[in-house]
A and B are shown apart, each in its own frame.
Chain A
Amino acid sequence: MKIIVGVKRVVDHNVKVRVKADGSGVELANVRMSINPFDEIALEEAVRLREKGTASEVVAVSVGADAAQETLRTALAMGADRAILVMGGEALQSLEVAAVFKELVQIETPDLVIFGKQAIDSDRNQTGQMLAGLLGWGQATFASAVNIENDEAIVAREVDAGIQTIAVRLPAVITADLRLNEPRYISLPNIMKARKKTIEKKTLSELGLTRKSHLKVLKVEEPTVRKPGIRVNGVAELVEKLRHEKKLL
């Protein structure tokens, strides 16, 4: 069984992002970038499936700028067998990324594609589902446990009410939620080995794709700051406000 894992290079989750003064976006110059944490979980799951013998090959794919090679090196050091960089520039939109993966799926013919449930920069939570929709494959989003049995993936999903378990026929798309696993530390010897591996590169045109913009970001701004409310004089007043003004109790 072959697994493709999508990995995105994003602003490191420990970095407090700063909106640019001109409202054109967030400051990315000299900001620490790293692998999207949900994608790291997706990759960890794929590598574990290979280590268990369920999968035979894990291919990490990133779509973006040249710098995404760094992210793919991380993926190789974590245990991906191969890495592919699709050079699509910085601002590719989810649907375009999904289209890239659709083309790669035709070439690589994986049984499973795993993504993080969302990227922590754009927070769109859609690429995995879009790919499933484009391919007509089954999908299991927000996975907190994955087991492969025969030709099905048995996936526990984090839904609003609790945990839902579904079975998806392979090939399928899975998106990883936070509790799926705890990614491993990358060992120094593995980083050393990963630096020697080659990263396959493809262009959009090699995949028969062209850029098409579906939306435009007009402005990025700081969230509005919460203003202090009122001081209440006692429990009675508080309950009265919550009950009647906010209709909460």
Chain B
Amino acid sequence: MQPFVMRESMEFDVVIVGTGPAGLSAAIRLKQINPALSVVVLEKGVEVGAHILSGAVVDPIGIDALLPGWRREEGHPFKTVVTQERFLMLGEKGAWNIPNALMPGILSNRGNFVVSLGNVCRWLARKAEALGVEIYPGFTGVEVLYNKAGAVIGVVTGDMGVKKNGSHGLNYMPGMELLGKYVLIGEGARGSLAKEVIARYALDRECSPQRYGIGLKELWEIDPIYHQSGLVLHSFGWPLDECTGGGSFLYHMEGNKVSVGFVVHLDYKNPYLSPFEEFQRFKTHSAIRGIFTGARRVAYGARALTEGGWQSVPKLIFPGGVLIGCAAGFMNVPRIKGSHNAVLSGMVAAEHVAVAIAKGRAHDEVAGIEDSWRVGVIGRDLLPVRNVKPLWAKYGTKLGMMLGGFDMWCQQLFGFSFFGTMHYKKTDSAMLEPAFLHDPIRYPAPDNVLTFDRLSSIYLSNIRHEDDEPCHLLIKDKKLQEMSELTVYGGPSIRYCPAAVYEWISEGNNKRYVINAQNCIHCKTCDIKDPNQNIEWTSPEGGEGPVYSDM
């Protein structure tokens, strides 16, 4: 039984959860419209950007709309414009360039920038603070507050100093209530509060289930002779098999840095698949490995991303708040980017919320948002590509991508799709198949030069978790984990987790499930992919998790 605690509380006009591009853009837009609004933004990372991980090639359409004139300012983080694009289909031995002329126009990266999205957020945070937005990193929104009418009225920040056994330590500090006329939830893919309000208000009643991918990323400092600033390279195919979706990105950034990463769609079926090892293996391809000669890996991280697209975006509004950014899911899968839509969704939400507050409204549904995003810029970005991921999932990589390309061309040329809108039937977790249907995959051992194991990778993620705190990864039914996750599915958590959090340890004839929560890099894949939805990712203490720089 938890001791009863008194919480301090404070009122704001708008409470925003998450300092990603969506949350910060919403905050900035609110203050632009009405400087008198009080706006507070919570961030679970120890600083803004600490938990931001993205490729990233950014389409500046969002920033242009939010901060016109930013290009003339000093100190903005968009330092590298895309100069050249290559798209590769990889086989085990060879690589085939797909001519840019075959690519639908919507996929072009002309005028886009290679950036660290974390640094973009740090920059946006400075802009927001200059406008009077209050930003509090190190404080997690852990609980949604409702009024008697069932509307959201605020959030509670996490308690600090709770011991592993649930008791309060000497330095225990209760969380605080932040009350707002409206609460904007911008936690990113698979946000905990978003998950709660989506369920509570059945916001996903009329959409397809959300689908996800896991993105793994490393930052390398490479030999200048291999560096080509602004080169953007994508690949699909090897090392993934025909029926597993995903692909790589490799971006040449300023300072001889290369951002290299790999995305695996989490609808994969084979429980023996390891996204982490697929990524490591990808780097060894003959068309790729050369640029890493004499290079040094400087950072590592991973994060789940939303991939459902147009047909998986839930209803955004609920009484007293709005979902923004990837908490709703505005990622454009074939363009491999979503941050522009995150910015735009934050702005749309802010504009409607500001009007509502000006009319004296609070704690209600801001209906205009729902109507405007699908017909606006975001909708125009997502609608034409809506069938790419479903086709890929249904027909495999080669045929699926050809059909997807065909569909995008049809829509570009004729504004018409042969496929209508294809829907997803199952969640990613339900796509996983029992182990006996598959063969184990043998991955090569790391060479510690180009390829690595998980533990030496997360060493570069600057993780911190308190030793003596409750485990933030909850197993709802421990028996089920052994009977099903291990026995039926062969323990996929030890492979899908990119941070070596989960282990099945042999002790005599028994197997023990070990959760190394301190390794968690907050990617949330376990919450998505566990076949029984038996793992729940909850927020540990504020300020914990990875500290990404330049990611």
Contacts and interface: CB of A to CB of B under 8 A. Distances in A.
In the complex they form, do A and B come into direct contact, defined as C-beta atoms under 8 angstroms apart?
yes
Interface of A: 12, 14-16, 18, 21, 30-32, 34, 182-185, 187-189, 191-192, 195
Contacts of B291: none
B170 interface: yes
B157 A188 contact: yes
19 contacts: A12-B462, A12-B547, A14-B547, A15-B549, A16-B460, A30-B550, A32-B46, A32-B47, A32-B50, A32-B462, A32-B549, A182-B171, A183-B171, A185-B161, A185-B171, A187-B176, A188-B8, A189-B8, A192-B134
Contacts of B119: 30
Nearest to B169: A182
B154 to A, nearest CB: 13
Given A30-B550, A188-B136, 20 more contacts: A12-B46, A12-B462, A16-B462, A18-B298, A21-B221, A21-B296, A30-B116, A32-B46, A32-B50, A32-B547, A34-B46, A182-B170, A182-B171, A184-B171, A184-B173, A185-B161, A188-B8, A188-B176, A192-B134, A195-B134
A18 B296 CA distance: 10
Contacts of B547: 12, 14-15, 32
B122 interface: yes
Given A15-B549, A185-B160, A185-B173, A191 B136 contact: yes
Contacts of B173: 184-185, 187
B10 A14 contact: no
Interface residues on B, range: 20 to 34
B465 to A, nearest CB: 10
Nearest to B119: A30
B139 interface: yes
A12 B139 CA distance: 17
A218 B434 CA distance: 60
A35 to B, nearest CB: 12
A192 B170 CA distance: 23
Given A182-B171, A187-B173, A15 B462 contact: yes
Given A30-B119, A30-B122, A32-B46, A14 B170 contact: no
Interface of B: 8, 10, 46-47, 50, 116, 118-119, 122, 134, 136, 139, 157, 160-161, 170-171, 173, 176, 221, 296, 298, 459-460, 462-464, 547, 549-550
B50 A189 contact: no
Among B118, B173, B459, B549, residue most surrounded by chain A Cβ atoms (within 10 Å) = B549
A174 B305 CA distance: 50
Main secondary structure of the interface of A (DSSP, over half): loop
Nearest to A31: B549
Cβ-closest 6 pairs across A and B: A185-B160, A14-B464, A185-B173, A188-B176, A15-B462, A30-B549
Nearest to B256: A21
B462 A14 contact: yes
A110 B365 CA distance: 58
A187 B173 CA distance: 7
A21 B221 CA distance: 9
Most buried by B among A12, A184, A185, A195: A185
A67 to B, nearest CB: 12
B519 to A, nearest CB: 13
Contacts of B298: 18
Nearest to B463: A14
A21 B296 CA distance: 10
Nearest to A184: B171
With most chain A CB atoms within 10 A of its CB, the pick from B8, B118, B122, B171 is: B171
A168 B116 CA distance: 52
**Which of A21, A32, A182: most chain B Cβ within 10 A?**
A32
Contacts of B170: 182
B171 A189 contact: no
Given A18-B298, A32-B46, A182-B170, A189 B462 contact: no
B540 to A, nearest CB: 13
Contacts of A16: 459-460, 462
A21 B257 CA distance: 12
A16 B47 CA distance: 16
Nearest to B172: A185
A187 B118 CA distance: 25
Contacts of B122: 30
A14 B462 CA distance: 5
B422 to A, nearest CB: 41
Contacts of B171: 182-185
Nearest to B161: A185
A229 B28 CA distance: 58
A74 to B, nearest CB: 10
A32 B296 CA distance: 20
A87 B463 CA distance: 32
A184 B172 CA distance: 8
A195 to B, nearest CB: 8
Nearest to B42: A188
A32 B461 CA distance: 12
A184 B118 CA distance: 28
Contacts of B464: 14
A30 B221 CA distance: 15
B545 to A, nearest CB: 10
B299 to A, nearest CB: 9
A32 B549 CA distance: 7
A195 B129 CA distance: 12
A184 B549 CA distance: 26
